Structure 1
């Protein structure tokens, strides 16, 4: 079976959210699995010398307009969240705990946490919100609350973030197909063509 597609994102990335609604179906069309890698973007920005789009002169206003436009074009539920951006440590740790203990629930949780923030305007930096999202899925919030505080899960998120940076990831979404890197939601069409043609 062909190698899985690797999908790197941060749960506070609008473009990552948009890509998350499409990446698994894209992979499936080409007989691929898709591995999600939630990470923390702040260390990646520090490593690359970059700053958040929303904080950049001119680019910040453009990006906010573009997020609205992209959502309308693709029919993705979206509203600009307040506050923005937010820390996603609890959400990312929850994903990795589920990935290790209830792997079939990890991606559904990822979709739910993205929607909670970008479609429902809930503050996913709040651990209570993260646990409420999980509980609404039928998961045991008390068990998850304990799980995300374990040394193993804390280390897992650090390792994923450090590993992503070491692999060249500097933004989100970041998609890797057979070693080929594609940065940005607007590269999903190129990812599809790469899979169709076998590269170029």
Structure 2
């Protein structure tokens, strides 16, 4: 069976949000599955020396224009959140809490969190908000809050972010298929063609 596609994203990334709406269907059309990896770009920026896009002159203004344009192009629900760029630590920990035992539930939670943030404009930074959103999927609120403080869950997020850096990941979304890296929502067409042709 073909190897899964690794999908790296930060919950603060609107481009990651748009990618999350499509990546599983794209993969399935080529007989692939997807491993979802929430990461923390803040930690990665310490390696690359970059700053968040919204904090960069010119680039920040372009991003706010561009993501609205993508939403109109794709028909994706979108509201630019006042809390951007959000701190995705709690959201990412919640996903890893579920990943090993319940990978599909982990993906569903990631989608729900992304929707709350970029479709509804909610601030998903607070742990209470993450637990509230997880509860809509049937997870016990107290168990979620406890998981967010679990040292193993915290270590998992750190290890995943460090591991992403080790594989050359520096942005969101970032895809790796058969060791071939693709960065950005606008590389999904190239990724689709790569999968269809076997590369070039």
- Where does residue 55 of structure 1 map in the other structure? 55
- Where does residue 31 of structure 1 map in the other structure? 31
Check if 1:163 corresponds to 2:163: yes
Which TM-score applies when normalising by structure 2? Answer: 0.98
Q: Distance in 2 between matches of 1:54 and 1:89?
A: 18
Q: Distance in 2 between matches of 1:197 and 1:121?
A: 38
Check if 1:69 corresponds to 2:69: yes
Q: CA deviation at 1:192?
A: 0.2
- Aligned residues, how many? 200
Q: CA deviation at 1:104?
A: 2.6
Q: CA deviation at 1:102?
A: 2.8
Which TM-score applies when normalising by structure 1? Answer: 0.98
- Where does residue 91 of structure 2 map in the other structure? 91
Q: CA deviation at 1:103?
A: 2.6
Q: Distance in 1 between matches of 2:188 and 2:134?
A: 29
- Where does residue 137 of structure 2 map in the other structure? 137
The structure 1 segments of at least 4 consecutive aligned residues displaced by more than 2 Å after TM superposition are 100-104
Gaps (5+ residues) in structure 1?
none
Residue 181 of structure 1 aligns to a residue in which SS? strand
Residue 11 of structure 1 aligns to a residue in which SS? coil
Q: Distance in 2 between matches of 1:97 and 1:41?
A: 19
- Where does residue 3 of structure 2 map in the other structure? 3
Query: What does the per-residue CA deviation read over 1:121-160, in whole Å, with 9 as the maximum and x for residues that have no partner?
Result: 1111111110010011121111111122111101000000
Residue 105 of structure 2 aligns to a residue in which SS? helix
Residue 82 of structure 1 aligns to a residue in which SS? coil
Query: What does the per-residue CA deviation read over 1:51-95, in whole Å, with 9 as the maximum and x for residues that have no partner?
Result: 111111111111100000001100100011011101111100000
Q: Is the 8 A contact 2:127 2:148 kept in 1?
A: no
Gaps (5+ residues) in structure 2?
none
